Structure 1
Amino acid sequence: MPENFIRNFSIIAHIDAGKSTLADRLLEITGTISADKIVPQLLDSNPIERERGITIKLAPVTMNYQGYTLNLIDTPGHVDFNYEVERALQACEGAILLVDATKGVQAQTVANLRLAKNLGLKIIPVVNKIDAPLSDVAAATRQVKQLLSITQEPLLVSAKTGEGVEELLQQVISDLPAPETVTGDLKAFVFNSTFDTHLGVVAFIKLISGELKTNDKLEFINSGQSVSASEIGIFSPVRTEKKTLQAGNVGYIITGLKDIRRILVGDTLCLASQAKNAIPLPGFRKIHPNVYLDIYPAEGNQYQDLVDALEKLKLDQLTHSWSRSQSRFFGAASLGSRRRKIGQGI
């Protein structure tokens, strides 16, 4: 698919604005998933995500619509997941700014918009939940226009019923720019990774230049980690294997690694044979924890269960680390450094 027919975009909003529901409608209308097979919050594969109604782990999905390839990266809206939003937006050229018609512009709406603007993304303003009993479409519309300093009306949609969503897809195609690619050797941006018990670490990438093929010998420039691309492909929304990936597209690489810390988010991927002379993409920085917690089991005989749970969590969390500590009041404890959501989820 030529890059002129590719659109990479994200959905940014405050928590509970309807991002995951809108993603469900996009999947349905584009025919990526049939209506009888779709389940609420399809891209939120983590049970905690569905239980709490929030998005934690980024779930990229490729949709084909009217001859175009639409790569959607659904992002978290909660304040605790700001870094996930930032690195997802780095893989996009545009973003849908989704505002809840019942609540208007909220704090995280502004924060996410600032991230998108700093990255130079094209913004499509959308007011959601126009069918809700408590909606105030006029007030939400006014706030969006003030926030963006625009005169044109934002698009009005109901992600729940699908009203206005087809018009939104048309606007994504017409208003968002195609990805900017460069001629040259393979370079890809790593915007996320996850751990699969059977496959090992799966890296989510956006190709900036060149072509990626199955079994290519690769190297991550900043970390120096070498891997072989045992499988590459796209999410549609399930893993779909491909023989090649072209510049401008979003996809995945199965690395076979057993430690997720060997893949650094924001790193640059290139062919191993070209790593010595390759220049990394700008903007890379290491993730550092910003919340530190002491965690004690309710019962002393549950300590090993806690340790086992933390070890499993560490497989899929780049920012999570822990060590044992001792308290004269509580006995053995696990000292963790992580973001707040991990501590709350245990």
Structure 2
Amino acid sequence: MWVYLCCSKRSRWKEKGGSQLRRKQQPCSTNTPFLLNLIDTPGHVDFSYEVSRSLAACQGALLVVDAAQGVQAQTVANFHLAFESNLTIIPVINKIDQPTADPERVKSQLTSLFDLDPEDALLTSAKTGKGLDQVLPAVIERIPSPDGKHSYYDKYKGVICHVAVVDGALRKGDKIGSAAISQTYEVLDVGIMHPELTSTGVLFTGQVGYVVSGFKPAKHMVFSGLYPADGSDFDALNHAIERLTCNDASVSVMKETSTALGMGFRCGFLGLLHMDVFHQRLEQEYGARVISTIPTVPYIFEYADGSKIQVQNPAALASNPGKRVTACWEPAVIATIIIPSMWDLLLHLCSERSGEQLEYSFIDSQRALMKYRLPLREIIVDFYNELKSITSRYATFDYEDSEYQKSDLVKLDVLLNGQPVDAMATIVHSLKAQRVGRGLVDKLKKLIDRQMFDITIQAAIGSKVVARETLSAMRKNVLAKCYGGDVTRKKKLLEKQKEGKKRMKHIGSVDIPQEAFHELFKIS
């Protein structure tokens, strides 16, 4: 029997100071003739792919809720994932030993939000051990045993079924149905045991092999470029990414080239936290020094001739005045926010981020639930931090992807001495372009080192410059040895210095520090 735990797990690397979120599976034997397999996965929305792979292998779920804090936004999201997978759900109210614990209030929340019977909830305290002796018996009694199919769970691939093809052929991408639960799945991989799992793409009549299916494929929500800090380390970075993606199949990787940063990779992630964890593991496990470009979301642009393109890298969107963009679409999400009471600043934050209120209701007398439709680009960087700040860390936040929506978007280029820096290009709403451009050039002026020539920093939409700053050159005092004398002598020295700096500007290059890319995340 497989049981899924709806809670989050974060393990600290004490020696290196990093953090990693991972899925963990643990067999659990009891004094009964039952063997329970418990799967604990991260609760953050960025790791919903890990959750979907786990749910496909389970028959039931323990929905763990804090007796003091009550239902959180992640609780709502994880409940719906388990409910849609037809799992038996056992509510567990933990931390009943806390002075502020209110189990009865939490029971009423479970009833009003999920229509769960309050009598089915188990009251426990992991700290004191109270009520824990009820959990495993409830799992054995309420959750059904597996139906005897020849399948097992693999932590890298998900559910793997052993099959024998009696007639016809089974190919990757085919749709298969389950007669037991009347559900349809897509075959994600098929192959033979040789003796290890060897993908063949098809099984013919008489062959025995394996099938991987039953969980939704990864949907990449955030894209970012990864480049080696030193161009000569490209092969080492390539090797590190290949090894890391072996146990994180939810990352998409594609090679790309930037005029500013050289050869690198365009990677797709489930969210910003997922990207940060991947970046952190590259540095701490493989010693890779990596530059990450500004994270973006996938956009769709339609041109006047009717053609459409999906843009994952803003630099790939040509600023060609002869090819006019007629419509733009961007991904949106449905955000769930649970707060203790009404916060006017929260309404202002969601409105400022182009949010549309869909629902506002009270869970009980002390907690409210709000749902907003928000553009994904508005929440991938600092929305959660601002939400925690204005609500004194009392709010909880979760989101699920929605359909694309029309928007007025423009490409914002950053130019140094008239040359565009493709790695710093970004796509923003037209109403925010000037403010974002001003923030970019102001920040770059502080981060770029002064040279022996002037550096012009510009933010532009096509040929229209929306913000500009000039980083003045370092100058040698060529008049230091002129003690009086004719003024024409001084003018000649200054003109000679001016001509020299013009030549430097033509042949000189500007180094952009790695810190500049990290700081620009907060602005764009």
- Name the TM-score, length of structure 1 as normaliser: 0.60
Contact 2:56 2:214 in 1 (8 A): no
Change (3 A) 1:80 1:222: closer
| Mapping of residues 17-36 of structure 1, within 5 Å | none
After TM superposition, give the deviation of residue 206 of structure 1 in Å: 6.6
Matched residue, 1:83: 49
Please tell me the residue identity of whatever aligns with 2:266: L
Counterpart amino acid of 1:116?
A
Provide the residue aligned with 1:337 in structure 2: 268
Are 2:121 and 1:154 equivalent residues in the alignment?
A: yes
1:227 to 1:342, Cα distance in 2 relative to 1, 3 A: farther
Query: What does the per-residue CA deviation read over 1:104-137, in whole Å, with 9 as the maximum and x for residues that have no partner?
Result: 1111211111121122211111111223455443
Deviation for aligned residue 1:54: 6.8
Aligned to 2:254: 323
Deviations 1:156-176 (CA, angstroms, capped at 9, x unpaired): 112234322111111111222
Q: Secondary structure of the residue that 2:69 maps to in structure 1?
A: coil
Q: CA 1:272 to 1:8, structure 2 compared with 1: closer, same or farther past 3 Å?
A: farther
Check 1:11–1:208 CA distance in 2 against 1; reply closer, same or farther (3 A cut): farther
Higher RCO by CA contacts (8 Å cutoff, separation 6 or greater) = 1
- For the 8 Å contact 1:58–1:192, the answer to whether it is kept is no
* Equivalent residue number for residue 35 of structure 2: 69
Q: Aligned AA for 1:311?
A: E
What displacement does 1:205 show? 4.5
Counterparts of 1:127-138 in structure 2, within 5 Å, are 127-138=93-104
Equivalent position of 1:123 in the other structure = 89
Partner of 2:223: 292
- 2:223 is aligned with what amino acid? Y
Q: Which residue number in structure 2 is paired with residue 251 of structure 1? A: none
Q: Secondary structure at the match of 1:318?
A: coil
Alpha-carbon distance between aligned partners in 2 of 1:56 and 1:134, rounded to the nearest angstrom: 31
User: 2:384: which partner in 1?
Assistant: none
Q: Which of 117, 120, 133 pairs up with 1:166?
A: 133
Match for 2:151: what amino acid?
Answer: A
The reply on whether 1:59 has 2:25 as its aligned counterpart is yes
| Alpha-carbon contact 1:141-1:153 (below 8 Å) kept | no
Flag the 1:65–1:228 CA change in 2: closer, same or farther, 3 A.
Answer: farther
- Is the Cα contact below 8 Å between 2:4 and 2:61 reproduced in 1? yes
**What is residue 240 of structure 2 aligned with on the other side?**
309
Contact 2:47 2:274 in 1 (8 A): no
Counterpart position of 2:4: 10
Aligned with 2:190: secondary structure? coil
- 1:101 matched to 2:67: yes
Whether contact under 8 Å (2:224, 2:268) holds in the other structure is yes
Q: Is the 8 Å Cα contact of residues 226 and 272 (structure 1) preserved in structure 2? A: no
- Larger mean CA deviation between 67-76 and 153-162 belongs to 153-162
Alpha-carbon distance, 1:55 to partner: 4.3
Specify the SS of the correspondent of 1:224. strand
Q: Quote the offset at 1:95 in angstroms.
A: 0.8
Please give the TM-score of this superposition, normalised by the length of structure 2.
Answer: 0.42
Instruction: Give the superposition deviation at 1:289.
Output: 3.2
Deviation at 1:319, TM superposition (A): 2.2
Counterpart CA distance in 2 for 1:73 and 1:89 is 9
Tell me the distance in 2 between the aligned counterparts of 1:68 and 1:90. Answer: 20
- Structure 2 CA distance for partners of 1:181 and 1:288, relative to 1, 3 Å: same
Identity percentage of aligned residues:
30
Structure 1 counterpart SS, 2:49: helix
SS at match of 1:225: strand
After superposition, the CA RMSD in angstroms is 4.0
The 1-side partners of 2:54 and 2:21 are apart by 13
Change (3 A) 1:146 1:263: farther
Counterpart for residue 37 of structure 1:
none
- 1-structure distance, mates of 2:53, 2:223: 23
Letter in 1 for 2:142: D
Gaps of 5+ in 1: 1-6, 21-40, 195-202, 211-218, 230-254
Question: For the structure 1 residues 102 and 206, does the alpha-carbon distance in structure 2 shift closer, same or farther, using more than 3 Å as the test?
Answer: farther
Which of 132, 151, 154 is residue 188 of structure 1 equivalent to?
Answer: 151
Aligned to 1:233: none
Q: Which runs of 5+ in 2 are unaligned?
A: 165-170, 173-186, 280-524
- C-alpha distance in structure 2 between counterparts of 1:156 and 1:209, whole Å: 42
- Matches of 1:53 and 1:136, distance apart in 2: 32
Q: For the pair shown, which has the larger CA radius of gyration, 1 or 2?
A: 2
CA–CA distance in 1 between the matches of 2:197 and 2:120? 48
Q: 1:139 aligns with which of 96, 101, 105?
A: 105
Distance (whole Å) between structure 1 residues aligned to residue 214 and residue 241 of structure 2: 30
Aligned residue type for 1:118: E
Change (3 A) 1:53 1:10: farther
Structure 1 Cα separation of the partners of residues 221 and 194 of structure 2 = 33
Distance (Å, rounded) in 2 between the aligned partners of 1:99 and 1:54: 23
Change (3 A) 1:193 1:129: same
1:192-341 to 2 correspondence within 5 Å? 192-194=154-156, 205=159, 223-229=189-195, 255=196, 262=199, 273-275=206-208, 283=214, 286-300=217-231, 303-340=234-271, 341=273
The code of the aligned residue for 2:61 comes to A
| Structure 1 counterpart of 2:241, one-letter code | L
- State the secondary structure of the residue aligned to 1:315: coil
Contact kept, 8 Å, 2:49 with 2:216, in 1: the verdict is no
The alpha carbon displacement at 1:331 in A equals: 3.2
CA pair 54-156 structure 1, distance change in 2 beyond 3 A: farther
Q: Which amino acid counterpart does residue 79 of structure 1 have in structure 2? A: V
Cα 1:144–1:302 change in 2 (3 A) is: same
